[in-house]
Amino acid sequence: MRRQIAAATLAVLAGVTAGCGADDHPNEPRPPSPIEVTAKVDNEKVDVSPSKFGAGLVVMTISNQSDDPVQMAVEGPTAVTGGVIQPGQPGNLKVDFKEGEYAVTAGEESLAKPALLTIGPERASSQNELLLP
């Protein structure tokens, strides 16, 4: 029995010792919290609200109010193309925006005028903020 206890104690001590590494563990600040942006597509144009915000992850909720399917595309320093959104249906597009000027289009087949976005410097870190599910 003593051998088993001694072996278990050695195993625990070995695990604790192996878990200790260098004393220098720099913490990188967390990225900015994602923000929600809305977009509407009709037969004439694409609207995005807001049209100015800081760089970082954005979840765009899109409402297709046109008569045709659309495939949203973001063109600029970061280029992203989403899936097809049927008329009258919503869709989502996640974009990790970098600073710069962007055009948000309804796809190559659409005649809708693109929305123009101005993305500023990266938003503040979400460090020390309570992130809710």
Query: What domains appear along the chain, each with residue ranges and CATH number?
Result: 35-122 (2.60.40.420)
Q: What is the predicted pLDDT for the residue at 32?
A: 83
Query: What global pTM score does this model have?
Result: 0.72
Question: What are the CA-CA distances from residue 32 to residues 86, 121, 122 (Å)?
Answer: 32, 11, 8
Q: What is the predicted pLDDT for the residue at 33?
A: 85
* CB-count exposure of residue 131 (10 Å: 0-12, 13-18, 19+): exposed
Q: What is the predicted pLDDT for the residue at 106?
A: 94
**pLDDT string in tens for the chain (133-residue length):** 777 776 667 666 666 665 555 555 567 777 888 999 999 999 999 999 999 999 999 999 999 999 999 999 999 999 999 999 999 999 999 999 999 999 999 998 889 999 999 999 998 877 766 656 6
Q: What is the predicted pLDDT for the residue at 5?
A: 72
Q: What is the predicted pLDDT for the residue at 87?
A: 95
Question: What are the CA-CA distances from residue 4 to residues 14, 16, 45, 74, 79 (Å)?
Answer: 15, 18, 74, 63, 60
